[in-house]
Amino acid sequence: MQEFILLIWQDDTLLSDDQQQARSKQLSRWIRDLSQQQLFVTAHTFWDYGYTVTGEANRPLRNINPIRGNMQISGYMIVLAKSIQEATSLAKAYPGINFGAEVEVRELRRS
């Protein structure tokens, strides 16, 4: 099994409180199911801002999460799968997709 990161892109400003609660319940069930199958490693959400450090600036620059249109990266999950195709199938079942989220799937490489 290999590790894959699922980057979650979404625009929470479009969701009502009821939709956010429904998404959270579905997400909890989905993570529980992945855990029972021993495919879930970890998940975390991000704050709305961070800092960018480059060689051009002497100090870190505060920035907003990476944005693509109205979407921003809100968090990530690490899952186990046999292939990128299998990881993509897991991502297709991510409950947030029903609420407008997009999931970017990438294989993690070990050094």
Rounded to a whole number of angstroms, the CA Rg of the chain reads 16
Average model confidence (pLDDT) for the chain? Answer: 86
What is the number of domains present in the chain? 1
Q: Give the mean pLDDT of 12-28.
A: 88
Q: What is the pTM of this model?
A: 0.82
**11 in the Ramachandran plot: left (φ > 0), alpha (ψ -120 to 50) or beta?**
beta
Q: Give the mean pLDDT of 49-76.
A: 70
Q: Are 94 and 105 contacting, i.e. CB atoms less than 8 angstroms apart?
A: no
Provide the terminal-to-terminal Cα distance of the chain, rounded to the nearest Å: 16
Q: In the Cβ-directed half-sphere of 44, how many Cα atoms lie within 13 Å?
A: 4
Instruction: Tell me the two tokens of residue 72.
Output: 């921003």
Q: Is the pLDDT of residue 22 over 70?
A: yes
| Phi, psi for 16 (deg, rounded to 5) | -75, 170
pLDDT digit string (tens) for 65-91?
556 667 788 899 999 999 999 999 999
Structural domain for 18, as ranges: 2-107
Instruction: Tell me the two tokens of residue 30.
Output: 């989905």
Q: Report the CATH number that the domain containing residue 70 is assigned in CATH.
A: 3.30.70.1060
